[in-house]
Amino acid sequence: MTCLYDSWESWNEEFFDGVLVVPSIFLAEPKTPPALADCTSVSVLGSRSQIRIRPALLIGNHKCINPDTPMEGRILFLADILLHEMIHQWQEEVLGNDEGSYKGHGPKFVGKCNAIGALLGLAEVRVAKARGKNKDMPSCAHWPHKVRPTNYYMGAYVPEIEEVKKEKEGENGGDDDNEEIDEGIDVVDDLVERFSRLPDDSRLQFLNKIKALMKKR
Ligand SMILES: [Zn+2]
């Protein structure tokens, strides 16, 4: 974890003019099941932002990780996932716009990916929805891991497994927009999720409170 904070600090200076506020970084399950990581604007510890990275990526039991490769490669992969989340952090903290209609992967996100990518010598990416002349470019939802040189992660990252699986399922493999790697916080979703975990009598209590609240307005 220390090395993730070190990466965060140097990237904050290098790519974000040092303006981001130190987040809480956790090796913890992100909110949505297929996501590799997520960034929310409120941390459980009360700091400004929270970044969660799926533990299976480090442990090596995730479908896109080959556990028979050096740990160093997995750490490089985790660091790149962190860099991706830092752009979401920048959207929320600096722009005040999480580009929710693009699930976070909109034009502003792309612009930042490509500005950083130019400094790192990476190919350009497009917004998550594949359209027009840019549709053959990789999606920013998978930046930067999809545009890193093949050997960069020392074999730790195995995108082939995902693609083979997709072909078997009969998808064309050309449109990967459903593979969102993360999503911003969604208050309503959170509320619904919590509500579904409540016992029946608490649910009723909750509903009555909401009704009372609606009447007041
Ligand atoms: Zn993202």
Q: State the pLDDT at residue 193.
A: 64
State which residues of the chain have pLDDT below 70: 1, 43-47, 160-193, 216-217
Compute, in angstroms, the gap from residue 215 CA to the centroid of ligand 1.
38
Compute, in angstroms, the gap from residue 105 CA to the centroid of ligand 1.
6
Q: State the pLDDT at residue 167.
A: 43
Instruction: Find residue 26's DSSP bridge partners.
Output: 52
Compute, in angstroms, the gap from residue 169 CA to the centroid of ligand 1.
24
Whole-structure pTM value: 0.73
Compute, in angstroms, the gap from residue 180 CA to the centroid of ligand 1.
7
Compute, in angstroms, the gap from residue 202 CA to the centroid of ligand 1.
35
Q: State the pLDDT at residue 127.
A: 92
Q: State the pLDDT at residue 180.
A: 46
Compute, in angstroms, the gap from residue 110 CA to the centroid of ligand 1.
10
Q: Structural domain boundaries of the chain?
A: 2-184, 186-217
Compute, in angstroms, the gap from residue 209 CA to the centroid of ligand 1.
35
Of the candidates 161, 162, 207, the one whose C-alpha atom is nearest the C-alpha of residue 181 is 162
The DSSP annotation for 129-166 comes to S--GGGTTSPBGGGTTTTTS-TTTTTT-B-HHHHHHHH
Of the candidates 74, 1, 83, the one whose C-alpha atom is nearest the C-alpha of residue 37 is 83
Instruction: Find residue 37's DSSP bridge partners.
Output: 53
Instruction: Give the whole-angstrom CA distance, residue 44 versus residue 28.
Output: 12
The single-letter DSSP state of residue 201 is H
Compute, in angstroms, the gap from residue 137 CA to the centroid of ligand 1.
16
Instruction: Give the whole-angstrom CA distance, residue 94 versus residue 98.
Output: 10
Compute, in angstroms, the gap from residue 184 CA to the centroid of ligand 1.
8
The single-letter DSSP state of residue 30 is -
Instruction: Give the whole-angstrom CA distance, residue 22 versus residue 8.
Output: 8
The single-letter DSSP state of residue 23 is P
